[in-house]
Amino acid sequence: MITNNLLLKLKDRTSENITKTRIMLLSMEGKIEYLRTIKVEIDVRHGASSYDMILITQFASMEDFDAYLVHPVHVEVAKFIGTVLETGAAVCYES
């Protein structure tokens, strides 16, 4: 199993924008056959070094993760994320 964690810090850190982004990320659920699980958690600390949310996704293999990255549904969501993202960080590991 492959788990990918993506931390997102948004340009506009209002609760409305964070909610909109969360909904957009979760819209991939059930639409990408390679995506086994998806979870989006919102930061409750709101510190200067905090990220706004974490996207946690799981895949059966690295091949499935690679296929997810180029899937049309993911590509559209990634385009949106590119417009709202200030900075991000990722960790991908075997789980």
Is the Cβ–Cβ distance between 54 and 61 less than 8 Å? no
**Is residue 64 a part of any domain in this protein?**
yes
Domain assignment of residue 31, given as a range: 10-53+60-94
pLDDT of residue 48: 87
**Is residue 4 a part of any domain in this protein?**
no
Mean pLDDT of 76-90: 98
| pLDDT single digits (tens) 5-62 | 999 999 999 999 999 999 999 999 999 999 999 999 999 999 889 999 999 999 999 9
pTM of the model: 0.95
What CATH number is given to the structural domain containing 67?
3.30.70.100
